[in-house]
Structure 1
Amino acid sequence: MHLIETILFLLLAVVVSGWVARMTRIALPLVQIGLGAGVVLITGQSVDLKPDIFFLLFLPPLLFVDGWRIPNEALFRDRVVILELALGLVIFTVLGLGFLIHWMIPSMPLAVAFALAAILSPTDPIAVSAVAARAPIPKRLMHILEGESLLNDATGLTCMRIAVVAATTGAFSLTNAVGTFAWLAVSGIAVGVVVTLAIGLLKGWISRRWGEDVGGQILISLLIPFAAYLAAEAVHGSGILAAVAAGVTMSFTERSGMAQAATRIRRAVVWDTVQFVANGLIFVILGEQMPSIMARAAEVIQTTQHKEVWWLAVYVFAIVAALAALRFVWVWTSLKLTLYRKRGPNAPAKVGLRLVAVMSLAGVRGAITLAGILTLPFVLSDGTPMPARNLAIFLAAGVIIVSLVLATIALPRLLKNVELPPEPSHLEEEDRSRVAAATAALRAIEDRQHAMAEGKSDPDLYAETATRLMEVYRRRIESRSHSEGDDLVRTQRGDEIERQLRLAGLAAERDELVRLGRQRLVDEETARRLIREIDLQELRYV
């Protein structure tokens, strides 16, 4: 019963956090962390955060849906930048920050410092998007940050695993480290792809033979990330990369269009809910851990060469500054060599400092960092306590809070007028696609009309209905066939005007149906069905 009550409290905190964030205009992750801490201070009880269970419950679905929904074109277009950030930056951060932490705190062994640096290297895209909600991040920049975060979790956790082995055994082999990393990456990605393809083929075969059950299809999509994660962990691969690969593969398999429209609509709603709840619970649980971690500040400082508690704040701010500086250097170099590479013999590559500063501050740390650092073993291989374990946990928690607050204050200001290389316009491509789809619809309607009218006593009825529908598609083709220059701008304005008018009309329809239902002038089931039709139409324009 205690567990059920705790879960209900956490879910209530997630709901309340959205209201508080909108009323106070404070970043949602900070509100959720504060509510989590408040729940602990009021009830005196908190969730026992077990990292293995935390990773299994939260990471697979969140990484899966991110990999599923991120545009593959954007992912592959900026793959070089993403890989440089997800692989190179992580290793650069581990080396630079590890030596800095060991230099600042000599009592922390170098291997433990590297482990702390490794788990601090992954960024949290959930926190970044929430922090930047008041000043939206440009799409291309957000896609780069999302792609980076999908991969750098695995890189950081792998580096941490290697550092922990070195700390507990006192031995380190570069060859073994590279081999371990390669196996984790290759096997994890392969398992994610294979599991998703196998489930997709089996699901498609069953649906073709015996039909499609919407609820079952949705449940299968929810189970795929867990299947990929567990299968990868079973072969000692990266479950995180398996979940990401499963999501990206899912986006390719969905292009077959085999799923029913009802399945796609309801599945999207379910996944939106799962994503909202999981994101919120992560930060609420993170907030629940903060009071106990901060309460040990006086005890933790005794493990350093200083006795004043305020030195812990110095360490935290120094680590945050070092993370930003290392990221700034790496991002500047990466963008200069990729997005802003020279286009001509005398054209210098220009990298805006504002853009580099945005990407540096966007390196916000989140709950994965805290869950990862909690996996530090309590003892070494000889049975002695792990040196500076509590200090590492305290510093990780402090960096999470400071990076979130700093991003909340600075990112919205820096994001104003930030410049990126322009993304290619897809307007002409969209027009061509609409024309092609409408042309196909015309052919299908005409063929279907002839087939249905054959042998019927009233063929004119079929012809009139088909003509009315075909006229809608012909107007769509005419409005899109010659949209160039000023005509394209006019078409876009016309689309916006049409969107606003359609929304106004649909809102009026719904209000009238609600009125009729309240006055019992229409059957309740009929009103509900008609309102759902209007809602589905409205989704096309919002």
Structure 2
Amino acid sequence: MNLAHALELLALPAGAVAVAALARRLGLSAPLVLVVAGLAASFVPGMPRAELDPEFVLFVFLPPLLFSAAWRSSYYNLRENLRSISFLSVGLVLFTMLVIGYTAHLVVPGLPLPAAFVLGALLAPPDAVAAVSVAQRLGLPRRVVTILVGESLFNDATALTAFRVALAAAVGGGFSLLAGGGRFLYAALAGAAIGLALGPLLQLLRSRLNDPLVETAVPILAPFAAYLAAEAVHASGVIAVVVSGLYLGHRDTGSSALTRLLSRSFWDVLLFILESVVFLLIGLQLPPILDGLSTEQGWPALGWWALAVFLATVAARFLWIFLVALVPELLSHRHRDADDRLDRRNLFVLSWAGMRGVVSLAAAFAIPLSTPGGEPFPNRDLLLFLTFTTVLGTLLVQGATFPALIRRLGIGSDRERYTDMVSEAAAQHAAARAALDRLETAVEADDSVDGEVVARLRQLAEHRTLKAWERLGGGTGPEGKEVPTATYRRLRREMLAAEREVFIRFRNERRIDDEVLERVLHELDLEEALLSRD
């Protein structure tokens, strides 16, 4: 590998991180800024072509992104919303495939129906990365966020299986509804079985290691192992990754504190880099797609087809979500009066959160150039173009307006956030009482314990309880005065800063070694991280 090629490989992640960092600093949506930056960069003369390699995206990018989302998801919340998630991740995907397929077949002259269904399968699964990040930042109700996350975890499995079935029909392999349904059931059940088998094995391995660094490394390899194992037997690698991630994430409470700190930091950095690169890559795909596109029909016709497919994609989601939510209400008073049903505003937000992403583009590039008979695949370049324009349209139109829509509808979850804080304070109070009881038991068993140590531990437990309750007041008491715990955090941070300065000065004067500095700074950083928690 020469230096120029190495610099080209480095330029993509470095540029993506730089653009994402700028977007975060300016308070903008990083995915949207990255897509626009990729589009702009694609027109720069001499810019190297960055055509998506479908295998690279599906084997390198997809597993860790899905695994991390599953790892951080609540198993209980997903289980409680399983019905809604299933309707979206399976029913909506298949419905969208049919709507887009028939729309494309009707508006594009000469586009065979099997090829149109290939396009429908490509555009069926939304990528909720951008939507979820906005939803969490603006405080959408937890149930809406859970449904979006759950949909994004499982819809790729449905869409990729449907894509393979539609592709087989398009290249002359024939189509059978029974065979397609059987293939989907096998892929889902076998993928889930592999995930359930791998999860406990990896958890057992982690529990025997007793080394935070090695324990953190195990989940790094888990998504790739699950995906490859499932794909090797033609099962769903997506479901295998998600199931193993859910299992390991749910059991992570048994890990050591240092292991959890390391894991969280690692996944935060990895996801930031991967998501930045993915969205930048989307914008960079325009030149290779346009190179192979035939413009014999003219740009007005291509624009009309792209608009029709985009509108069909958006309309299918609205139609399905409102029908699934409202029809049971019309038929049954029990559904109409249910406490857990989503109101119209939340349904509208769910419907608008249908941004497409890199999985659609990667699968589109996996369309073969020719059929088994040696004939060119029908309208392959047009399918790539329509996939790209729809992905771009959903990101720029829906993604750009999503935050404003949430604010306009006024569906932030301030009440839910307040309830969480009250619940946390109550739990902190109960935990502190349990800690004090355990302390008293230990002191009674060992009468040689220093009384000052016991008093300090009691004070720490009481401080933790007060900190949780006083957070309900936003850190201020009556007449805007700073509450004691807020004062404690502020003054302790100043003390930590002074300690840090001394340690660094001693290192610079060569009075302590760098290894000593690293160790003590780590301890100070852990304490400051706890103090910085709002």
Query: TM-score w.r.t. structure 2 length?
Result: 0.87
1:449–1:463 contact (8 Å) kept in structure 2: no
In structure 2, which of residues 295, 310, 319 is the aligned counterpart of residue 329 of structure 1?
Answer: 319
CA distance in 2 between partners of 1:157 and 1:449 (Å): 61
Q: Which residue number corresponds to residue 16 of structure 1?
A: 18
Where does structure 2 lack aligned partners over 5 or more consecutive residues?
Answer: none
Q: Deviations over 1:140-196 (max 9, x none)?
A: 322211111111111111111110011112511111001000001111111112111
Indicate yes or no: 2:351 matched with 1:360: yes
Change in 2 beyond 3 A, CA 1:447/1:186 = same
1:200–1:253 contact (8 Å) kept in structure 2: yes
In structure 2, which of residues 283, 305, 308 is the aligned counterpart of residue 315 of structure 1?
Answer: 305
2:355–2:391 contact (8 Å) kept in structure 1: yes
CA distance in 1 between partners of 2:111 and 2:290 (Å): 19
1:172-183 matches, within 5 Å, as 172-183=175-186
Q: Which residue number corresponds to residue 57 of structure 1?
A: 60
Indicate yes or no: 2:392 matched with 1:396: no
1:200-219 matches, within 5 Å, as 200-204=203-207, 206-207=208-209, 212-219=210-217
Where does structure 1 lack aligned partners over 5 or more consecutive residues?
Answer: 454-458
1:63–1:244 contact (8 Å) kept in structure 2: yes
**Deviates further, 119-128 or 238-247:** 119-128
Q: Which residue number corresponds to residue 532 of structure 1?
A: 522
2:330–2:336 contact (8 Å) kept in structure 1: no
CA drift at 1:423: 5.6
SS at match of 2:285: helix
CA distance in 1 between partners of 2:416 and 2:329 (Å): 11
Code of the aligned partner of 1:286:
I
Q: Which residue number corresponds to residue 227 of structure 1?
A: 225
Change in 2 beyond 3 A, CA 1:68/1:468 = same
CA drift at 1:107: 1.5
CA distance in 1 between partners of 2:336 and 2:223 (Å): 49
CA drift at 1:90: 0.8
Code of the aligned partner of 1:112:
A
In structure 1, which of residues 376, 387, 412 is the aligned counterpart of residue 367 of structure 2?
Answer: 376
1:324–1:361 contact (8 Å) kept in structure 2: yes
Q: Which residue number corresponds to residue 196 of structure 2?
A: 193
Q: Deviations over 1:366-394 (max 9, x none)?
A: 11110011111211121111000010001
1:340–1:351 contact (8 Å) kept in structure 2: no
Code of the aligned partner of 2:21:
W
**Deviates further, 374-383 or 160-169:** 374-383
In structure 1, which of residues 244, 262, 267 is the aligned counterpart of residue 263 of structure 2?
Answer: 267
Code of the aligned partner of 2:487:
L
Code of the aligned partner of 2:37:
L
**Deviates further, 101-110 or 312-321:** 312-321
**Deviates further, 162-171 or 330-339:** 330-339
SS at match of 1:415: helix
RMSD over aligned CA atoms reads: 3.3
The count of residues paired between Structure 1 and Structure 2 equals 518
1:20–1:31 contact (8 Å) kept in structure 2: no
1:225–1:247 contact (8 Å) kept in structure 2: yes
Change in 2 beyond 3 A, CA 1:403/1:507 = same
CA drift at 1:339: 10
Indicate yes or no: 2:108 matched with 1:105: yes
Q: Which residue number corresponds to residue 147 of structure 1?
A: 150
**Deviates further, 404-413 or 490-499:** 490-499
- Identical counterparts, % of pairs: 30
**Deviates further, 487-496 or 87-96:** 487-496
Code of the aligned partner of 1:118:
A
Q: Which residue number corresponds to residue 456 of structure 1?
A: none
Code of the aligned partner of 2:86:
L
1:86–1:148 contact (8 Å) kept in structure 2: yes
Change in 2 beyond 3 A, CA 1:345/1:539 = closer
Change in 2 beyond 3 A, CA 1:133/1:491 = closer
1:290-305 matches, within 5 Å, as 290-297=286-293, 299=294, 301-302=295-296
CA distance in 1 between partners of 2:370 and 2:335 (Å): 59
1:184–1:238 contact (8 Å) kept in structure 2: yes
CA drift at 1:37: 4.4
Indicate yes or no: 2:462 matched with 1:466: no
Change in 2 beyond 3 A, CA 1:92/1:216 = same
CA distance in 2 between partners of 1:58 and 1:426 (Å): 34
Change in 2 beyond 3 A, CA 1:478/1:56 = closer
Change in 2 beyond 3 A, CA 1:220/1:157 = same
2:127–2:357 contact (8 Å) kept in structure 1: yes
Code of the aligned partner of 1:396:
T
Change in 2 beyond 3 A, CA 1:535/1:440 = same
In structure 2, which of residues 413, 423, 435 is the aligned counterpart of residue 441 of structure 1?
Answer: 435
**Deviates further, 123-132 or 387-396:** 123-132
CA drift at 1:419: 3.6
In structure 2, which of residues 483, 495, 503 is the aligned counterpart of residue 509 of structure 1?
Answer: 495
CA distance in 1 between partners of 2:257 and 2:78 (Å): 26
Q: Which residue number corresponds to residue 236 of structure 1?
A: 234
CA distance in 2 between partners of 1:125 and 1:50 (Å): 22
